[in-house]
């Protein structure tokens, strides 16, 4: 069975996303994923969620675990006992607008979305066998400050560390041709032709998944766009 894994955590100002985001992800999966699967929520905070969602409490973050670095934990080989053998990691600020079965019903050890405009692998939608990315977890676990710094970013995220680990390795890829799109928020208008954004609100033909970002949370919360009203529910 495929385990779809998502994270919910708090910031200094409270929860970054509400539990309704988790429930909407569950509903979108139910409508758009036709293979046996289970949604697993990773959080250290008490939550009242639909009984179809399994809650797993991760350990305390490693030192310096700013931003979403704590997500490196689900790459550990021993997570097979908690999460199962096949994992789809997906962010809560993702909108599934069409069937994703053919995207995720495949057997390569790791499948990543190679984001075309940026040339990097996305951490927002990632398919892998338990243990296939254990080396990335070990590098971070053994050097929770040094490994992020080696990525060349002051506040290197889990995505930056994933890309650092995968550099030079052969992994299967999705591209925009597979229907994965980026939401380009305010200030990125010149890139909207590559996906969708405030001035280009219609979904390109063939879109299956739209990846937003936490800075564009208001786009989901406002739900003024027709495709968000239709699919993010």
181 within a domain of the structure (yes/no): no
CATH number of the domain enclosing 60: 3.90.550.10
Q: How far apart are CA 20 and CA 3, in angstroms?
A: 20
87 within a domain of the structure (yes/no): yes
Whether residue 14 has pLDDT greater than 70: no
- Roughly what angle, to the nearest 10 degrees, separates helices 158-166 and 134-142? 120
Q: How far apart are CA 2 and CA 93, in angstroms?
A: 20
The residues near 77 (Cβ < 8 Å, ≥ 6 apart) are 130, 131, 134, 137
220 within a domain of the structure (yes/no): no
Whether residue 200 has pLDDT greater than 70: yes
pTM, full prediction = 0.94
Contact 73, 38 (CB under 8 A): no
Q: For residue 88, give Cα distances in angstroms to 118, 123, 199, 201.
A: 22, 11, 31, 27
Residue whose C-alpha is closest to residue 220's, from 208, 211, 230, 232: 232
Q: Between these two residues, 66 and 176, which has the higher pLDDT value?
A: 176
pLDDT band at 160 (very low <50, low <70, confident <90, very high): very high
> What pLDDT digit, counting tens, does each position of 25-76 carry?
999 999 999 999 999 999 988 888 999 999 999 888 787 777 688 899 999 9
* Least reliable range by pLDDT among 19-28, 56-65, 98-107, 151-160: 56-65
Number of domains in the chain: 1
- Encoding tokens for residue 85? 């053998």
> What pLDDT digit, counting tens, does each position of 145-154 carry?
999 999 988 7
8 within a domain of the structure (yes/no): yes
Contact 148, 81 (CB under 8 A): no
201 within a domain of the structure (yes/no): no
Q: How far apart are CA 230 and CA 225, in angstroms?
A: 9
Q: What percent of the chain has pLDDT over 90?
A: 81
180 within a domain of the structure (yes/no): no
182 within a domain of the structure (yes/no): no
Tell me which residue range forms the domain holding 143. 2-175
Q: How far apart are CA 217 and CA 158, in angstroms?
A: 20
70 within a domain of the structure (yes/no): yes
What residues does 89 pair with on adjacent strands? 5, 126
Helix (H, G, I), strand (E, B) or coil at 19: helix
Q: Which residues in 68-222 belong to E strands, given as ranges?
A: 86-90, 94-96, 110-115, 120-129, 172-174, 180-182, 209-211
| β-strand pairing of 53-56 with 94-96 | unpaired
Average confidence (pLDDT) over 158-186: 96
| β-strand pairing of 172-174 with 2-7 | unpaired
């Amino acid at each position: 069975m495929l385990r779809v894994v998502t994270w919910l955590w708090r910031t200094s100002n409270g929860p970054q996303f509400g539990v309704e985001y988790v429930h909407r992800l569950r509903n979108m999966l139910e409508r758009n994923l036709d293979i046996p699967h289970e949604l697993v929520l990773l959080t250290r905070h008490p939550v009242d969620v639909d009984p179809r969602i399994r809650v797993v409490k991760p350990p305390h973050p490693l030192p310096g675990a700013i931003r979403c670095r704590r997500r490196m934990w689900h790459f550990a080989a021993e997570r097979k006992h908690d999460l199962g053998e096949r994992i789809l990691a997906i962010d809560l600020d993702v909108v599934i607008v069409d069937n994703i079965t053919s995207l995720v019903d495949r057997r390569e050890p790791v499948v990543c979305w190679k984001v075309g405009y940026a040339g990097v692998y996305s951490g927002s939608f990632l398919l892998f066998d338990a243990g296939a990315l254990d080396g990335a977890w070990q590098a971070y676990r053994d050097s929770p400050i040094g490994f992020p710094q080696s990525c060349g970013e002051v506040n290197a995220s889990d995505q930056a560390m994933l890309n650092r680990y995968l550099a030079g390795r052969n992994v299967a890829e999705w591209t925009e041709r597979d229907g994965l799109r980026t939401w380009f928020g305010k200030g990125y208008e010149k890139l909207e032709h590559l996906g969708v954004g405030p001035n280009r609100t219609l979904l390109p033909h063939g879109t299956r998944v739209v990846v937003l970002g936490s800075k564009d949370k208001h786009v989901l919360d406002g739900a003024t766009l027709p495709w968000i009203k239709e699919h993010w529910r």
